[in-house]
Amino acid sequence: MSRWPRWFRRPASDIYTSWRPGVFPNKDWTVPAAQKAQTYPEPSPDWITGSSFAIWSDAPARQTEEQVTAGIRLPLRAMAERVWNPSGSTASYADWLARVEAIGTQPAAADLSTAPALELTKTATATRAGSSVTGDLEEGDEISWQVLATNTGSTAVKATVSDDLSDVLDEVSLTVAPTVAITDADGTVVREPGINAAFKRSVTASGQEVANQWGPALAVDGITSGPSGAQGSRWSSNGADDAWLAVELAEPTMVDHVSIYWEEACAAKYRIDVSTDGVVWVPATAEITPVCGSVDRQSLTVTERVSFVRMQGLDRTPIGGKKYGMSLWEMQVWTGPERGAITNPALLDEALLTWAGLLEPGHTATLEYRGVVTDAGNGSILK
C-alpha cells in the first residue's frame, strides 16, 4: 500500500485498472543459488482471490488513526475490487468511484433499498389565443410537454431520460430548443455549478523546494493527483512554516469555496487569505488542520468580490522527524458548487429527446419542449 510512510502510495485508479494481487514467493518457487533474495514473476502467475485485509501503521507517531483511514479509503476499496473480482469490472474508474461514494464508509448503515430510484411523469398543456384548450387541436395552437424525473432514492443517480417524439413531430413544429431545470425537494431551482477561477491563472509563491522543479504554476494546471511513482505536477514550497501560494484571478470574483488537493507532505496548519489588490490581505477562514493526502474544501467568510486568493501556511508536517516543503497537487478557487454543467436535452435521430445528468436525492429534472400545431391534430398528441 505504501512504500514509505506518508510519502508514496499507489493511486486507487492504478490499482483498480491494472493491479494484479499476486501471491508472495514460497518454497515452491526456485531461487537461483547465486541469488540472495527470492524473486517472483511479474505479473504473478497466482491470483489472490477472496482474501481479507490486515491494516496497520508502521509509524503511529507520525500518522493518526484518522489520517491512516483517509489515506487508505479508496486504495483499499480498489484492492478489494481486484481481489474479489479477478475477472475485472466492466465499469470505468469514474463509475466505480461513484458507486463507492454512494455506498459510503459504513455499508451496513446505508439505506440502499431506495438507492437509486427514479419516478417519471409526463404532462401536456395546450393553449389557443392565450386560453387553455383540451380535446381536438387546430393549426396554430400552442402546446408544451413536461417530462419530470424525480430521484426518490437515498443516493445520487446518473439519470438518463428519453422521450420519443416521432408521433408528435408529425403534427407539431417545435418552436424553441428543449430545456431542462433541476429543482430540489422544496421546488427551489438548483443553482448552476461554479467554475474553477484559479485554473491556469497567474500564481506566485514564497518559494519552492527545488529550483526548476515543483514550481507554483503546477498548482493550477488542473492535475489533482499523480500516477504511480510520478510526483511532477505539484507545488512544493520553500522550507518555511509560513510558506504561501497566491493566485491572481482574471477579475474581481465572488468566491464560494477553495479546494486544496494536498500531497502527503501537507501543511500541518494553514488558512486562506483574500485580497483585492494583492497587497493588503484579509483572513477568509479560521486556522485549518488538513488531512494529508486528501482534498480539503473550505468555505470563505468574505462576502465581497476578491482578486487574489492565498494559501497561507502556518506550520509544516514533519516526515521522519524532519520538515520538508509543504506540498499540494492543486489549489482551486470555485465560484459555486463543484458539479458538472447542467446540460440541456438533445434531439437524437431527429425524434428521440434525451437528457443525461446527475440527480441528487429528492431532486427533480424537468424536461420541457414546446411547439405549434402545424397539422390539424386531435387529443392524441396531448400525451
Q: State pLDDT tens for residues 346-379.
A: 766 667 888 877 788 899 999 888 889 887 555 4
Which of helix, strand or coil describes residue 347?
A: strand
pLDDT over 90, % of the chain = 26
Q: Supply the pLDDT for residue 7.
A: 43
pLDDT higher than 80, residue 109: no
pLDDT reported for residue 32: 55
Write the DSSP assignment of 182-222 as a string of letters. EE-TTSPBPPPP--BTTTT-EEEES--SBTTBS-GGGGGSS
Check residue 224 and give its pLDDT: 83
Instruction: Output 373 or 20, whichever has higher pLDDT.
Output: 373
- Alpha-helical runs (H) found in the chain: 12-18, 65-84, 93-103
Q: What secondary structure does DSSP assign to 5-39, as a single string? A: TTT-B--HHHHHHH---BPPP-TTS---TT-SS--
pLDDT the model gives residue 226: 65
Distance of CA 244 to the CA centre of its chain: 26
| pLDDT tens track for 136-167 | 888 888 988 899 999 988 887 778 888 888 88
Model pTM above 0.85: no
Whether the CB-CB separation of 121 and 342 falls below 8 Å is answered with: no
Q: How confident is the model at residue 219 (pLDDT cuts 50, 70, 90)?
A: very high
By DSSP bridging, strand 318-319 and strand 322-323 are antiparallel
Treating both helix axes as pointing N-terminal to C-terminal, what angle do 65-84 and 93-103 enclose, rounded to 10 degrees? 120
Fill in the amino acid letter for 79: M
CB under 8 Å to 163, separation ≥6 — which residues? 122, 145, 147, 352, 353, 354, 367
The distance between the two most distant Cα atoms of the chain, rounded to a whole number of Å, is 96
* 273 pLDDT higher than 90: yes
Q: What are the residues facing 288 on neighbouring strands? A: 270
- What's the CA dihedral at 88, 91, 94, 99 to 10 degrees? -100
Give me the mean pLDDT over the 36-43 stretch. Answer: 54
Q: Tell me: the pLDDT tens digits for 47-89?
A: 666 666 777 666 666 666 666 777 777 888 888 888 877 666 7
Q: pLDDT at position 30, please?
A: 54
> All domains of the chain, ordered by start, with CATH?
21-110 (no CATH), 114-190+342-381 (2.60.40), 202-334 (2.60.120.260)
Q: Do residues 283 and 273 lie in contact, with contact meaning Cβ atoms separated by under 8 Å?
A: yes
Is residue 98 predicted with pLDDT exceeding 80? no
Q: 210: which DSSP letter?
A: B
Q: How far apart are CA 35 and CA 173, in angstroms?
A: 80
Whether 380 has a pLDDT exceeding 80, the answer reads: no
Question: Measured between alpha carbons, how far is residue 147 from residues 121, 162, 311, 347, 365 in Å?
Answer: 6, 9, 45, 14, 8
Q: Which three cell numbers stand for residue 382?
A: 396531448
User: For the purposes of burial, counting CB atoms within 10 Å of the CB of 309, is it exposed (0-12), middle (13-18) or buried (19 or more)?
Assistant: buried
pLDDT at 72: 77
Query: What pLDDT score was predicted for residue 348?
Result: 64
Q: Any idea of the CA torsion for 220, 222, 228, 234, to the nearest 10 degrees?
A: 0
CB 202 within 8 A of CB 210: no
